[in-house]
Amino acid sequence: MGADLYELELELIERTSGPVAGVDEVGRGPLAGPVVAAAVVLPAARIEGLADSKVLDAGDRERLFREIIAARAEVGVGWSTTRQVDRMNILQATHRAMARAIGRLPNAPVHLLVDGHPVPGLPGDQTALVKGDARCACISAASIVAKVVRDRFMDRLARTYPQYGFDRNKGYGTAEHCEALETEGPCPHHRRTFSPVAFSNQGKLF
């Protein structure tokens, strides 16, 4: 499986004679926390076990994250904060996080492989792949990096706001999380434009 994931980017590297970066994001659906995107240019040496971060357990994601960093992959990470999500909407905030991630790569890639659909405004040429995190090694690596970075942030938030269970739900709208919203109201890291938050605490609009 790992070898197959490298096929497309190797073809692009040969055709363009330059680095190819995979780009992916996590955090579009949660009620709380940032959107985090990552851009990754993988080294020549293959990293075995790459896959869509959603099908990996937390231990495997952490292990692969460490392997990606140890292999000296080029990595850029970009965020859009909760306030930015509320101000510009989740789609635009996601695109901004992706652009920031690409801009933080140490070297500009010649081509981008982007998970999902084409993203306007990104620098350079791009190829969009639906379910690319399960089809392409560099996108898989980007999905793992973004997921680990965001999960670690939500774990830190859980220490400040333990009532919401962020360490367990990562900001997603679980029953436990929604019950806490009803009793506690939102914290500063909740997305006020998402309806379960906006109408939390007995229907009072925040």
At residue 203, does pLDDT exceed 50? no
Q: Where are the domains of the chain?
A: 2-162
Ramachandran angles phi, psi of 193, nearest 5°? -85, -5
Within 10 Å of residue 164's Cβ, how many Cβ atoms? 27
Give residue-wise pLDDT tens across range 124-144: 899 999 999 999 999 999 999
Q: In the numeric block, which tokens belong to residue 74?
A: 């080029």
**Using alpha carbons only, what angle is made at residue 96 by residues 139 and 27, rounded to the nearest 5 degrees?**
60
- Across 101-119, average pLDDT: 96
pLDDT at residue 2, as a whole number: 41
Give residue-wise pLDDT tens across range 159-189: 999 999 999 999 999 999 999 999 999 999 9
CA dihedral (169, 175, 178, 184) positive or negative: negative
Q: Please give the Cα distance from 123 to 82 (Å, whole number).
A: 24
At residue 201, does pLDDT exceed 60? no
Instruction: Return the percentage of the chain with pLDDT > 90, whole number.
Output: 85
Query: What is the CATH number assigned to the segment(s) 2-162?
Result: 3.30.420.10
End-to-end Cα spacing for the chain: 47
**Using alpha carbons only, what angle is made at residue 157 by residues 27 and 180, rounded to the nearest 5 degrees?**
85
pLDDT averaged over every residue in the chain: 92
Burial 1-21 (b: 16+ CB within 10 A, else e): eeeebbebbeebbeeeeebbb
Give residue-wise pLDDT tens across range 84-103: 999 999 999 999 999 999 99
SS (H, E, C) 67-125: HHHHCCCEEEEEEECHHHHHHHCHHHHHHHHHHHHHHCCCCCCCEEEEECCCCCCCCCE
Which residues on neighbouring strands pair with residue 161, listed in sequence order? none
